[in-house]
Amino acid sequence: MAVHPPAPHEKTPAPPSVTISDAASPTASHAAPDSAGAVPRRTVLRAAAAGGGALLLGACASRKDAPRHATADPWRQFAGTTLNFISENTAPTAAIAADLRPFTRLTGIRVNIVTLELSALVQKVALDLASGQAQYQVIYADPYQVLAPYSKGLVELRELAAEPDLPKPPGGFDDFIPTQLDAAGRFADDDKVFALPYDCPTMIWQYRRDLFDKYRDRMAADLGFDPMPGEDTTWEQYYAIAEWFNDNADDVPYGTGHQAKQHDSLMCDFSNVLWAHGGGYFDDDPAVGRLGAVDPGPCRLDSDAAIAAAEFYRRLLAIADPASRTWDWDGVGAAFRAGRLAMCPNWHEFAAANEEVMPGKVGYAPLPKGPARRAGMYGGTGIAISANTLPNERRAAWLFLVWATSPDTQLRGLASKVGGGTPTRRSVYDRPDVKAAARRPSPMPNLLTTDAVERTWRPDAIGLRPKIPMWNECDTAVYTEVSRMLAGDASPAEAMRSARRRFDRIIARGWKA
């Protein structure tokens, strides 16, 4: 948990002091029971009980809203307010937490940041929303675990953006990359925005460029195609390259590695292949992924295309590093940096760590195409405001949302020494300095992936898992069945049919937040 300390120049209100009379102590009352001015013990106890009762009632009483000051500066209206921001322990939050002074200087608002592992965050948010309070005014709203199940517990941001006295997001909502605004910010209704895109991890192909350069000609001769990742590279070619490295190169033990632990990561890794083969979770996967739905209809994981994808995935994992079945994204990232793998699909934000360990040796490309299309899983998240907030508290939280997702803050995050994600706004990618940083040598190594991620964010290439309220259970169903398939407990067809049955059972139960 990271809690940002108050800025040195801020005044911290003094804690309420409590003075206890000597007479309140049993010793004092016993020592001089009849002396003038002494308070009998019973009176003290009564007073203590009354005080306790008052405290209890105070705790139960309605909360006090943040004061709004009359000022010409719209950013300073809520100076003195304290906000709590609960976030997954991600790179952009690390960068913001490391330097909140610009926001505090701008607004006079103090922000406490609590960072947690995602599942712990989801629990805290759910319980906070259930409490009817808003211990956390600003929420890291994972589209699948927070936004979809609890969209009714979040503030509709267009209403705040429409208030004339409040600052607007620079460039408006349209400056956010459209697929990201839909996926991370909306749920079920095109007219409402519940979160502003805050980070945008996306799965891409990460490969040892040095080894590909070294063996390019030999591989081309042996395989019959240019192995360098390109626009037309297919998953079958990816398989062939991986197998070639297994058999012919001593530089790395394995050609490919995957995040195939029985975990959310396995669903992410498998979904890239599923979509590329033309399979999907539901009939209208792109819409269910982009806007989301409460009732997505019957599951289609038992389609021929899905079964073909599962067969390919099993074949691919059979030649991958066997430890893949123990790795999530961190595990495969560590193995890649340790020199075990020639290539792997992983989140693009691992680029910074790759460049630190193997500067200049890693290349980044969109994931290969399948028989149907190219698809790279998008894992971005937005930040939202709890609907339990009081009106002014909500407006103060809006100031933080606007500031945290502004181009300047995203740019500062890119250059942060402690992390920093990648921007979610088009205007940032259009800046000359950001474009320059997409080429080596780059002071912002995550930007080396810019070309790969921008091509993946196109509507026809982005991979969006179903945004449904009961996704967590469906997610568990799919990665458990794929794990069973990889362990040899089920054939691809059996695994997909079993996953479909589980999905349908879960969807049939419905969801009530």
Which residues contact other proteins (rule: CB under 8 A)?
A: 119, 122-123, 126-127, 129-132, 149-150, 152-153, 261-263, 321-326, 331, 334-335, 338, 340, 470, 472-473, 476, 480, 483-484, 486-487, 489, 512-513
The CB-of-216 to other proteins minimum distance in angstroms stands at 27
Nearer to other proteins, 90 or 483 (CB): 483
The CB-of-336 to other proteins minimum distance in angstroms stands at 10
The CB-of-209 to other proteins minimum distance in angstroms stands at 21
Are the beta carbons of 144 and 111 closer than 8 angstroms?
no
Tokens of 251: 């530089």
Bridge partner list, 205: 345, 365
Nearer to other proteins, 75 or 270 (CB): 270
Nearer to other proteins, 287 or 334 (CB): 334
Strands 195-199 and 381-385 come out as antiparallel
The CB-of-78 to other proteins minimum distance in angstroms stands at 25
Helix (H) or strand (E) holding 463: strand 462-463
Per-residue buried b or exposed e for 202-231, using 16+ beta carbons within 10 Å of the residue's own CB: bbbbbbbbebbeebeeebeeeeebebbbee
Tokens of 465: 């898992």
Nearer to other proteins, 23 or 470 (CB): 470
The CB-of-486 to other proteins minimum distance in angstroms stands at 7
Nearer to other proteins, 82 or 131 (CB): 131
- Contacts of residue 235, Cβ cutoff 8 Å, sequence gap at least 6: 273, 276, 277, 312, 316, 368, 369, 370
Nearer to other proteins, 301 or 444 (CB): 301
Nearer to other proteins, 151 or 410 (CB): 151
The CB-of-123 to other proteins minimum distance in angstroms stands at 5
What gap in Å lies between CA 140 and CA 450, rounded to an integer?
Answer: 24
The CB-of-322 to other proteins minimum distance in angstroms stands at 5
Helix (H) or strand (E) holding 139: strand 138-141
Are the beta carbons of 299 and 507 closer than 8 angstroms?
yes
Tokens of 159: 């209403």
Nearer to other proteins, 212 or 471 (CB): 471
Rounded to the nearest 10°, the torsion over CA 403, 408, 413, 414 is 150
Q: Is the peptide bond before 74 cis (omega within 30 degrees of 0)?
A: no
Please give the distance of CA 75 from its chain centroid, rounded to a whole number.
27
The CB-of-153 to other proteins minimum distance in angstroms stands at 5
Tokens of 413: 């995050």
The CB-of-89 to other proteins minimum distance in angstroms stands at 15
Quick count: other Cβ atoms within 10 Å of Cβ 122? 20
Nearer to other proteins, 340 or 412 (CB): 340
The CB-of-299 to other proteins minimum distance in angstroms stands at 16
- Contacts of residue 356, Cβ cutoff 8 Å, sequence gap at least 6: 445
Largest CA distance in the chain: 107
Nearer to other proteins, 7 or 130 (CB): 130
Phi, psi of 202 (to 5 degrees): -140, 140
